[in-house]
Amino acid sequence: MYNQYVTANCTKLQNSVCSDCQACSGTQYEYTACSLYSNRVCHDCSEIQCPPGTYLAGCGNGSKGTCWGFPSVLSVTPTSGCSGRSFMTRIVIRSPQIADLPGTKVFSSALNVTALSTVYDISKQIISVDIMIESDPSLMGMYSIDVILCNRIPCFRNTSFKVELMSQTVVTLIDSFPSSGYRYAYTPYIVRLSNIPSDLPARAVRMVNFPTNESIVATSVAYEASPYCSDLATITFLMPPMSSSVMLRPTIAGSVNRRASGFQLELQEFRYIAAPSVEVSSIFPTMGGVSQPVRIQIAVQNFPETNAAGNGCADIEVLFVSTTASNMTALSGQLEACQRQTASYMLGPITIDVSSPSG
């Protein structure tokens, strides 16, 4: 590397004349190196165009720098907390440039946030930050928190995430599922709510499906400890069989107590879909006499539950059809036993024992 370059060659009358190579400033990078006969050429860092999704770091004083990817959020746990209460959340960030162990700052225009601890995993380029969040009790909804991963301004190495503040008194929908179920079968539909009193009876909660306007009473209400503002209430409904593939828009409504005005929340849409065909997988025995009844066991696959109480066996009828060249005769068999191999309101295997007609 040259520190000087020749500006005038040596002659018979004078020595070579050399000048110091110019130095690039803090906002310049070396475009052309200093050589024996040419000066160093510097260009502004602003001329470097990084690919989309990246930023330039380390450019200046001759260095061209490197285009690094912006930090990306890998996880936030938990993503919600109670309004008016302090809670801690942990954010895990992937940042390609953490060898210098950058300072970590957090900021929110609406919340009081404090970075408690920062753990760096240089080999995996991962930063974990524990953040204490405090809020006013009047705040509810989604709020953004900025995470700044450097000590200088401007800082391009930053990212943000959102947390949800939930009321300690207002009934709040956590989730509802599933989004679909088979036609001709009862399907359990689960709704999870917070801020529901533990003595709420199932009969006090109803779900109305649009556009059919059918009202369904909850079959059960269960409670469990949760990270939300109160114990989590899991409410179960049974979506009734439907003859066509339609989309329903459920709404849940109920009264928390006699003094309260109640609550009404829209739930996830539910679609009825065509079910796999019911198939007979085995029959034993396949022949018998007609002088006395023969007990026959029939195994069926994809049999729907047609009874809301989970006792669809009561709806099963078996006909024995005899076909000759001249006529067709149908005789009823006697149902002896019926057993589902799995406890489910969806589709599943079923075993049916029936006695054949005799005489």
Of 301, 304, 307, 262, nearest in space to 279 by CA: 301
pLDDT confidence band for 178 (50 / 70 / 90): very high
The answer on 167 and 107 residing in a single domain is yes
Using only C-alpha atoms, the chain has a radius of gyration, in whole angstroms, of 37
pLDDT confidence band for 236 (50 / 70 / 90): very high
pLDDT, one tens digit per residue, over 292-350 is 888 999 998 888 776 665 666 777 888 888 766 567 777 777 888 888 766 555 778 88
Instruction: Return the higher-pLDDT residue of 303 and 282.
Output: 282
pLDDT confidence band for 198 (50 / 70 / 90): confident
pLDDT value at residue 101:
58
pLDDT, one tens digit per residue, over 64-106 is 988 887 888 999 998 888 888 889 999 999 887 665 556 788 9
Give the mean pLDDT of 201-217.
Answer: 88
Q: Specify the CATH number for the domain of residue 137.
A: 2.60.40.10
- Cα-based distances in Å from 80 to 106, 163, 227, 242: 17, 5, 9, 37
Of 316, 280, 301, 302, nearest in space to 185 by CA: 302
Q: Does the pLDDT value for residue 289 go beyond 60?
A: yes
pLDDT value at residue 311:
61
Examine residue 51 and state whether it is found in any structural domain, yes or no.
yes
pLDDT value at residue 329:
72
Examine residue 112 and state whether it is found in any structural domain, yes or no.
yes
The bridge status of strand 172-177 relative to strand 187-194 is antiparallel
pLDDT, one tens digit per residue, over 240-272 is 888 888 899 999 988 766 555 688 899 999 999
The answer on 193 and 150 residing in a single domain is no
pLDDT, one tens digit per residue, over 11-49 is 777 788 888 999 999 999 999 999 988 999 999 999 999
Instruction: Point out the domain boundary residue: 66, 82, 116.
Output: 66
pLDDT value at residue 111:
94
The answer on 149 and 79 residing in a single domain is yes
Domain that holds residue 169: 70-175
Instruction: Indicate the residue type of 107.
Output: F
pLDDT confidence band for 234 (50 / 70 / 90): very high
Instruction: Point out the domain boundary residue: 38, 66, 94.
Output: 66
pLDDT value at residue 71:
85
The answer on 198 and 171 residing in a single domain is no
Examine residue 23 and state whether it is found in any structural domain, yes or no.
yes
pLDDT, one tens digit per residue, over 138-175 is 888 899 999 988 766 667 778 899 998 888 778 888 89
The answer on 154 and 102 residing in a single domain is yes
Q: Is the peptide bond before 78 cis (omega within 30 degrees of 0)?
A: yes
Examine residue 20 and state whether it is found in any structural domain, yes or no.
yes
The answer on 214 and 166 residing in a single domain is no
The answer on 111 and 53 residing in a single domain is no
Q: Where are the alpha helices (DSSP H) in the chain?
A: none
The answer on 217 and 131 residing in a single domain is no
Give the mean pLDDT of 203-209.
Answer: 89
pLDDT value at residue 102:
62
The answer on 50 and 130 residing in a single domain is no
Examine residue 348 and state whether it is found in any structural domain, yes or no.
no
Examine residue 223 and state whether it is found in any structural domain, yes or no.
yes
Examine residue 273 and state whether it is found in any structural domain, yes or no.
no
Q: Percent of the chain beyond pLDDT 70?
A: 89
The answer on 90 and 168 residing in a single domain is yes
pLDDT value at residue 258:
55
The answer on 41 and 97 residing in a single domain is no
pLDDT value at residue 1:
57
CA atoms within 13 A on the CB side of 36: 2
Examine residue 90 and state whether it is found in any structural domain, yes or no.
yes
pLDDT confidence band for 117 (50 / 70 / 90): confident
The answer on 90 and 169 residing in a single domain is yes
* Cα 265 from Cα 254, distance rounded (Å): 9
Most confident of 2-6, 105-109, 198-202: 105-109
User: Structurally, how many domains does the chain consist of?
Assistant: 3
Phi, psi at residue 313, to the nearest 5°? -60, -30
Instruction: Point out the domain boundary residue: 126, 141, 175.
Output: 175
pLDDT value at residue 6:
84
